[in-house]
Structure 1
């Protein structure tokens, strides 16, 4: 649930001491107040600009992410690597985050976080307790810094207005040619059964290109985010799930975790194939309530991004939304919300359960997967 604009100032006021301490530790220069003060100010401006879109139960994730991104902004080469290593150490040994949480926050693989943490700790004699003591000593006696929250809110609101204006301008430019050249398509409609005609004759899948670790509110109650090593998603009943690109047992692990829930229905799911070059797609159903499911999956091995992803459950046919990482063609994640009860999902297992089909731009099925394959 998004925040009320009035919630920002209380949150910022409460979080300011912790943010300033973390900013000091990131900067590595406790005697210099200017750098951490400016870092916190820029972070809060960005948070304020996006405040209405940040989920209520995940504010700290986004604030930490903005803080570290601002800390790394503008650095290159060896300097950036050193700063990234310090950020991992601070998040791990001061903020108390787990390696998997840091990987999600920074959009890195868990292996990259582990490697930086290991190298950084080696500089301190491989003694985590000693490093935490150094952080605690550096944080002791810090003088509260003057971050003017009124000015932060003014700049945040101004930034939000500029972004809205830019989005409106881009949309206006895109709509004009769409009206001129796309009239016939909207007038004629198209087939929804996937037979006959090309991809232009059927509903296309909305596609969104995301940054590593960027969380997407897929449907109310469910979030999806991608890192370079696979798909992450959270639902009310099952937070922080992961399906890796190269983990052949990932689907089995997911199924075993929820075998009681799906033992009479979806329960014979296939693995994500790791055979090189073979297009594959998976499907994982997660209950949202008694009348709907969050369906999602990971496709890989495609030579190009899909034009359409269609999910079939009995007589229900649903067009999914596609998420891809910038610069990572050939794999991505799809998701959709299905108006199904647990009984309907269970009954569908007789015919193989949910089936997902990936189509290319010409309307050809290039990958198909589901519970029974």
Structure 2
């Protein structure tokens, strides 16, 4: 009996030191109440990790991000650069030419594609808090995209997504809304068309 309690106490201490989130324990039916309390305390001392909201992927200036074959994006201090399968020559959207106010929440959008696929991207800027996720409302339903930013706090970033286009639904008004959410679930910035 004492040997069992000794091993149980060693297992509880080892689990506490290692940082195990949960500990299984077996206590003999006639074990003293204090042994059971110690084993339960060791289990409660390490609650499961708190889940946090996603944040934008931080990329180095000029680092290419492949969203889909032929659809690449990269950021520089001057703005967003991208290519698509139908436009392999690099395109550019400036963040320093005065066309956007990084102090006011906003979202821009560029859309290119084929009869069956849309390549969607744009800037987001000026929101409060930390951007977390993007949802794009299309004629074919909601698409969830991704966010990228340069290191530090540039005050802007880029969202991107791809969408399968159903026959007959592709047109210039294919996207009706782009919403960038913050880490608290609120709206960081939004574009409504």
Q: CA 1:213–1:206 in 2, change beyond 3 Å: closer, same or farther? A: same
- The residue number in structure 1 matching 2:90 is 240
1:342 and 1:278 map into 2 onto residues whose CA distance is 37
Kindly report which structure 2 residues correspond to 1:129-148, keeping only aligned pairs within 5 A, or say none. none
CA contact (8 A) 1:303 1:329 kept: no
- The residue number in structure 1 matching 2:48 is 181
Report the structure number with the largest CA radius of gyration: 2
More helix by share: 1
Q: CA 1:366–1:242 in 2, change beyond 3 Å: closer, same or farther? A: same
Deviant stretches of 4+, over 3 Å: none
Displacement of 1:284 in angstroms is: 1.0
CA contact (8 A) 2:118 2:162 kept: yes
**Which one has more relative contact order, counting CA pairs under 8 Å at least 6 apart?**
2
If the length of structure 1 is used for normalisation, what is the TM-score?
A: 0.36
More strand by share: 2
1:274 aligns with 2:141: no
Kindly report which structure 2 residues correspond to 1:263-302, keeping only aligned pairs within 5 A, or say none. 274-275=100-101, 277-287=103-113, 289-302=114-127
2:67 and 2:94 map into 1 onto residues whose CA distance is 19
Q: CA 1:276–1:329 in 2, change beyond 3 Å: closer, same or farther? A: closer
- The residue number in structure 1 matching 2:78 is 229
2:140 and 2:127 map into 1 onto residues whose CA distance is 27
Kindly report which structure 2 residues correspond to 1:245-256, keeping only aligned pairs within 5 A, or say none. 245-247=95-97
Task: Compute the RMSD of aligned alpha carbons.
Answer: 2.7
If the length of structure 2 is used for normalisation, what is the TM-score?
A: 0.66
Q: Across the two proteins, how many residue pairs are aligned to each other?
A: 148
2:67 and 2:140 map into 1 onto residues whose CA distance is 23
